[in-house]
């Protein structure tokens, strides 16, 4: 059978998508042992896990980008889950990092704006998960800053205020939320979750992956595998199984 004929006979295969939208902690999540890679492995043949992490970005910039990633006419119908994971840059101290800093009230408003945009393109609240920034290990991050000739430009208490604002937005908008800042600090020494005081270590990636999967598993693991298992293909008449 010619390929063109096979294409005409078969339905177009459209994989559902999980969209990961965030800053560098999302961008790096497809690295070895990353939390995004973990999700992709769990969902292979069921969903495409799409990484739209953009290193260094804050919510002021992200809310401008989001409508360029998802539109009702082109892609929203195939999205089964979206994570919005910002705050590590927004919470940078204004006097030391004015380019990335976003005031707390604006941060909350930006998150709410992004959730409302997703709802406007028919991505329902039950498909949206907000993730708070992780806690900041100040001494380790200060070393990273000093190595670049900078001063310590973040503090954990301030990051906590942004995490609380994220939780509040989720409550107001009716979405799920993963309060990473609080959960990681239940272990008194949370430094092992971080590689440089800000970004996630292998242990931190594993922790986030497990927490996120517990929220997604019931919803996504029931999705059917796309295309039959190879042993179930009729080898004498593969068209009957595959088209």
Q: What are the residue numbers of the active site?
A: 24, 196, 199
Hey, is 151 helix, strand or coil?
coil
Q: What angle do CA 180, 130, 70 make, to 5 degrees?
A: 145
Hey, is 157 helix, strand or coil?
helix
Q: What angle do CA 149, 150, 155 make, to 5 degrees?
A: 150
CA neighbours closer than 13 Å in the CB half-sphere of residue 128: 27
The 3-class SS string of 188-233 reads CCHHHHECCCCCECHHHHHHHHHHHHHHHHHHHCCCCCCCCCHHHC
CA neighbours closer than 13 Å in the CB half-sphere of residue 176: 17
d(CA 135, CA 138): 9
For the record, the structure tokens of 4 come out as: 């063109």
Hey, is 182 helix, strand or coil?
helix
Q: Which residues fall within 8 angstroms of residue 1, CB to CB, at 6 or more apart? A: 239
């Amino acid at each position: 059978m010619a390929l063109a004929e096979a294409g005409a006979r078969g339905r177009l295969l459209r994989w559902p998508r999980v969209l990961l939208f965030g800053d560098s902690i999302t961008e790096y999540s497809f690295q070895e042992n990353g939390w995004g890679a973990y999700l992709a492995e769990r969902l292979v043949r069921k969903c495409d896990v799409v990484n739209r992490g953009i290193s260094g970005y804050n919510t002021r910039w992200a809310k401008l980008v989001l409508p360029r990633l998802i539109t009702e006419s082109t892609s929203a119908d195939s999205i089964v889950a979206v994570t919005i994971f910002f705050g590590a840059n927004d919470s940078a101290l204004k006097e030391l990092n004015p380019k990335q800093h976003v005031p707390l009230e604006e941060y909350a408003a930006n998150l709410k704006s992004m959730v409302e945009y997703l709802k406007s393109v028919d991505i329902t609240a039950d498909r949206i998960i907000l993730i708070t920034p992780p806690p900041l290990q100040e001494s380790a991050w200060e070393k990273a800053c000093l190595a670049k000739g900078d001063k310590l430009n973040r503090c954990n208490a301030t990051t906590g205020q942004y995490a609380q604002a994220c939780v509040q937005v989720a409550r107001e908008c009716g979405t799920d939320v993963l309060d990473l800042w609080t959960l990681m600090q239940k272990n008194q020494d949370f430094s092992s979750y971080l590689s440089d005081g800000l970004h996630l270590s292998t242990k931190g990636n594993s922790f986030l992956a497990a927490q996120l999967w517990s929220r997604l598993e019931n919803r996504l693991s029931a999705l059917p595998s796309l295309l039959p298992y190879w042993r179930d293909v009729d080898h004498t008449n593969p068209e009957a199984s595959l088209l």
